Amino acid sequence: MMKRIGLMAVRHGLGVLAAAAILAPAAAQAQITRVSSTAHKQSIGVTLGGFFVKPEDSRVTGDVLVADLSDVQPLLFDIEDFNGFSVNGEWLVGLGDYLEAGFGVGYYQESVPTIYRDLQNDNGSEIEQTLKLKVVPLSATVRFLPIGSHKVTPYVGAGIGAFNWRYSESGEFVDTSDNSIFRNTYVAKGWTAGPVILAGIRFPIADALTLGGEARWQKAEGDTDREETGLLGDKIDLGGWHAAVTFHFRF
C-alpha cells in the first residue's frame, strides 16, 4: 500500500514537472513578446536632404515664377535654381505592429539671383534682383509598415501638410511705362494646406538608432494676389519632391 502511494506521488511529481517544462518556455516567450511589442514604440528623428520644385511645364496656372520668365520684360533664371536644402524634424508613434503616426516640422529656403534677360543699365551693368522662397511645412501622416517593425523596415504613408510660406522679389526693376529703373521689394506670404505622400526604409545602426532614406511628395499652392502685392503672378506653386536621409532615436 505504501509502495503504491509512493509510486502515485512520483507519477504526480513527474506530471507537474512535465507541465512546468511545457509551460515555462511558453511563458518566457510570452514575456519576450510582451516586452518586444512595447519596446521602441516611439521615436524622434531628423531628415536631411533636398527639395526639388516642380518644373516649369507642370506648375500651377498663374505661377509667379513662370510669369517672371514669360513677361514682356522677362528675368533670366531657371526654375530648377530653386532646388535646395531641406531639413525636417519629426515624432513617430506606433499604432500597432503595422501602423505609425508621424508629426513633423520642416524648413526650406532658397535665394536665386536674377537679371533682366534683355535690359541693362545705361552704363551697361546688369539690372539685378533676388528672388527668395521660404517654406515651413507642418505635417501629420500615417505610415503603413507592410512587414511590421523589423531590422529592415520599409514603409509608405500619406497625410496632410500645412505650409507656412513667404516669397519675395527684391532689387532693381524696370517701369514698363517709361523704362525707368527703380528699387523695390515685393512680398507675398501666407498659409496653405495640401496632401503629402511618402515612402522610405529604415534599418538599425545601434540598439535605439536607425538610419534610412525617404522620398516625400507634396502638393500646395499659395495665393500671391498680384493686385495687392505687385508681383506678376497670382499663385506660387509650392509642390515638389523631398529626397532625404533619415535618422531616428527610438524609445
- pLDDT for res 39: 55
Name the residue type at position 135. V
pLDDT value at position 117?
95
pLDDT score at 40: 61
CA dist., res. 31 & res. 12, Å (int): 28
Q: How many CB atoms lie within 10 A of CB 188?
A: 23
**For the chain, which ranges sit under pLDDT 70?**
1-40
Q: What is the pLDDT of residue 128?
A: 98
Give the pLDDT confidence score for residue 138 in this predicted structure. 98
DSSP assignment of 121-151 equals -TTS-EEEEEEEEEEEEEEEEEEE-TT-SSS
* Strand ranges inside 177-226, DSSP E: 181-206, 209-218, 221-223
DSSP-derived secondary structure letter, 188:
E
What's the pLDDT score for residue 16? 40
Sole residue written with cell 532614406: 213
Specify burial of residue 102 (Cβ count, 10 A radius: 0-12, 13-18, 19+): buried
Query: 209 with 248: CB under 8 angstroms?
Result: yes
φ/ψ of 28, rounded to 5, equals: -65, -45
41-250, CATH topology level: Porin (2.40.160)
The predicted structure's pLDDT at residue 15:
47
Residues forming beta bridges with residue 184, ordered by sequence position: 171
Q: Could you tell me the three cell numbers for 188?
A: 507675398
